[in-house]
Amino acid sequence: MDWFNYYGLAIMAVIMIPNIVYFVKHKNDAANIYPNKIVSVLEQIGRYGCFVLMIFNIPYTYFNFWFDHALTVYLSVNGGLCLLYLIFWAVCRKRNDKLKAVSLSVLPSCIFLFSGIMLASVPLVFFSAVFAVNHILISCKTVSADNRKKKYTKKDKLRDTVLLIFVIVLFAAAVIGTLFGGHNGSVFPL
């Protein structure tokens, strides 16, 4: 793969389409409720860093795919994560709860982190980690502020537990699939 990543551009387009549609329909709701400026700035730095590095490979900062059939794994896993992202957007479009907040913040974080690992792109892994931590925090805190008046029931606890297990399994599958999927025994070929 050269300096321009066509696959990354397609992945970014898939991720951005529902976001653009949402913000066009909800222009007045775009205000961020979470008041921590440092977290907000770090999230934006991570977001735009991921956007740029998903599309442009900066020479000498990435090592390209590091095992046989890595492109197939890259496209399959990212395609599946993008499909899940679109499904969660469709299912949760009228909701304002933790399921929506966590799923729509964890899935793009997994896409960015997985892409960085697959391409062995040091800056993409860095920016995806910065983005993931801050984006998930802001999403969860925003929903908590909106739902603070609601009473936390056993059904809510069960749903949050299932959601947490889902996120852990999704992240573990992405990492395990990346690290142990079909390579020739070495992490970086010599």
Letter for the amino acid at 138? I
Angle, to 10 degrees, between the axis of helix 70-92 and the axis of helix 6-25? 10
Model pLDDT, residue 186: 46
Distance CA 14, CA 18 (A): 8
Check residue 162 and report its DSSP letter: H
**Tally of CA atoms within 13 A in the half-sphere of 187 that contains its CB:** 4
Structure token pair of residue 182: 């079909």
Of 77, 98, 104, 84, give the one whose Cα is nearest residue 172.
77
Q: What local confidence, expressed as pLDDT, does residue 150 receive?
A: 60
How do the pLDDT tens digits run along the chain, 190 residues long? Answer: 678 999 999 999 999 999 888 888 877 665 556 678 899 999 999 999 999 999 998 888 888 887 888 889 999 999 999 999 999 898 888 877 888 888 899 999 999 999 999 998 999 999 999 999 999 888 888 877 665 556 667 776 777 677 667 766 766 676 666 565 544 444 444 3
Q: Look at residues 97, 112, 71 and name the one whose alpha carbon lies nearest to residue 159.
A: 97
pLDDT score recorded for residue 29:
61
Buried b (16+ CB within 10 A) or exposed e, 96-108: ebbbbbbbbbbbb
Residues 169, 38, 82, CA angle at the centre, nearest 5°? Answer: 35
Backbone angles phi, psi at 68, to 5 degrees: -60, 140
Name the DSSP class of 29. Answer: G
The 10s digit of each residue's pLDDT in 132-185 is 999 988 888 887 766 555 666 777 677 767 766 776 676 667 666 656 554 444
pLDDT at 15: 94
How far is it, in rounded angstroms, from Cα 106 to Cα 112?
10
